[in-house]
Amino acid sequence: MSTEEDFVLVPTNITLSEFLAEHLEATKETLKKRTWEGHEETARVHLVPMLGHLKLKELSRERVQSLYATKRAGGLSPGAVRRIHAVLSAALLRAVRWQLVPYNVCQDADPPRAASPDIRLLNPKEARAFMVAAALPKGSRIMRSTA
């Protein structure tokens, strides 16, 4: 039989900024130090300034999508915006588990596609030079011909 003492009251008006602080505190012991520092920086630099004032229940796919578009317009790479998406999505997944929100709005948002790296194939002359260099003893220097 449950009693009132078995229930934890969850503030329904918690802002994203307040929740991110709780989320980061909860993940401090489960993430590697450098990973946690990256998540904290992403929250501090990108998420809190633009969305931190919103209550969790006010967060929507449109607002998240707008964040991504603003960050891209501000010069961030698709990969950097995808990292913002990953941090926010992980935080909102915890909010769902903690029953602060009914679902993770990041699931409906579309982060930018990661840019494909520019790959250039070696021509036959470059491939031969590469193979010769690879066969040299470690630490050998290759002199480039100017001819």
pLDDT for the residue numbered 133: 81
Q: Bigger pLDDT: 132 or 143?
A: 132
Domain assignment present for residue 3? The answer is no
Q: Report pTM.
A: 0.71
Residue 137 lies in a domain: no
With respect to residue 44, please indicate whether it lies within any of the assigned structural domains. Answer: yes
DSSP state of 145: P
Contact 24, 40 (CB under 8 A): yes
- CA dist 127 and 94 (Å) reads 50
Q: Is residue 57 a part of any domain in this protein?
A: yes
CATH number of the domain within which 62 lies: 1.10.150.130
Average pLDDT, the chain: 86
Quickly tell me which residue has 């470690």 as its tokens. 138
Give the residue-averaged pLDDT of 54-80.
94
Flag whether 141 is in a domain.
no
In a domain, 96, yes or no: yes
Which tens digits make up the pLDDT trace of 17-52? 999 999 999 999 999 999 999 999 999 999 999 999
Count up the domains in the chain and report the number.
1
Residues 6+ apart with CB under 8 A from 18: none
Report the alpha-carbon distance of residue 147 to residue 136 in Å, rounded: 22
Residue 27 maps to a domain: yes
Domain with 87, as residue range(s), is 9-108
